Structure 1
């Protein structure tokens, strides 16, 4: 599994799930508005676990029956009206984690953790939606940017206190494109929120603290360009191709050898009523 191939059918995925699992992340930008697109995603990628961000839906209004009908009997969500919100949909059983931090003491539904019942033993899975940070890259002038840096600082301290990760996957919309080849123009975006040096270093510090491995760049090493987000402001997103890689999947070092493939579903940006983000998936064969 690599690139953007057609992907396996759900039946094939269930067969391969005995030896491997497919874990995907997507900033859906409203789960109720884009519910029909989830059916397309499942047909294309056949994920065993799908983590969503920006569900924009309080828990009591989450369309659980429709999500379960797509083949996900196990669902956890942390949502609120109108913005933010995360959810985990799974074919595999899981246990919700208790006691994870309330980041920046805001209760704003940006993180959800579970213990997956995975082949070879439990896998700790964390779904994050990192604050976007507004438009001005100055924490003194922009409270949204200050919140973003505070969130990353707390996440780094949390990871450092726990020590090097074991059998763990951390993923989601991190709202930072860390590498020069993760943006369409490094020089022109150095002062643009999502690619500023202070954000890039903050994300790198979080990654180092958990000793996590970049699962997508494992297969698509620099300097190859790779994007997961294209602005709604572009008249023709595909022609201009001014993208950024804001969506990430990290795995603990002990799972790096279990990586079998990745997909960035670029064509999803062209779906009707598309999100500005596209789904990202990796396949793991943990032992």
Structure 2
């Protein structure tokens, strides 16, 4: 299913955080959100998975306004991996992943054989088969991220919404997690700080700056030296990656550039 945002604005505590945002993640496409800190990426994602309500505009799932769906219906279609993880440290890995089946279960019914099979398949997909009885709190950061991704997979959504899923991961675990997303090819809206990771992973990028989308399109069209200077305040060259051919951003770490989105 495709997910689109139309003329979205969000006001928090009297301050406009997002204004007139339009963006798209087509069916089966990985669409990335990039932008400086404070540009509105997390607010936008929270609005997409209905943790926040917009002051104007709408979010559409396959052309249907998300406000017309019940919370359970939304949860069957959209799985979110927010930055704020909650306090799940006393649960086992299997218990965490099984939470993804909640939207499909009747009240007090508990899980059935089909739920257990889906949970086991999700754990296997992220490379954690046989780890179901380990305590979540005893895992490494990379393992926790894979568990949370397995929970999202167990939810069997049409759309994944991921807010900085590689944050605090070492390079190996970043590569493993992004490879999982590539292999899954589910409609995905993801925010990333690492522009090179975004260029490698995403089919489409949306660049946010000061609450507005200032550029959208394929990574090699969006990530230009002029945009990097104007939005991120950095001097950089964009060249083909020697191993993959993806756009590779080589930053000049000696010469800062004053950011000005009007440039």
Q: Which has the higher contact order (CA 8 A, sep 6+)?
A: 2
Report which of the two structures shows the higher radius of gyration computed on alpha carbons: 2
Using the size of structure 2 for normalisation, the TM-score is 0.34
Say which structure is richer in helix.
2
